[in-house]
Amino acid sequence: MIDTCVCCGEYGPEGRMVCPLCESKSRKKEDEQNGKDRPPDLERSNRLRRLA
């Protein structure tokens, strides 16, 4: 099976459906729509805390 991104068709890491570049673009668009200006790592760590 070829590991390609479902968004752009470029190579993506094994087991992932979206490449890191498309994922970061998606997060940036989501943040702009929600009015957030947080760094992605901080936002991710906050999400993980809520799940724990």
Q: Which residues pair with 4 in a beta bridge?
A: 11
**pLDDT above 60 for 13:** yes
Element (DSSP H or E) covering residue 13: none
Q: Name the H helices within the chain.
A: 20-34, 40-51
Q: CB neighbours of 51 closer than 8 A, spacing ≥ 6?
A: none
- Summarize pLDDT for 16-46 with one digit per residue, the tens: 899 999 999 888 887 777 766 555 565 555 5
Q: Residue 8: what pLDDT? A: 92
Q: The pTM is what?
A: 0.54
Higher-confidence position of 19 and 52: 19
Higher-confidence position of 27 and 1: 27
Q: Residue 16: what pLDDT? A: 87
Q: Are the beta carbons of 20 and 11 closer than 8 angstroms?
A: no
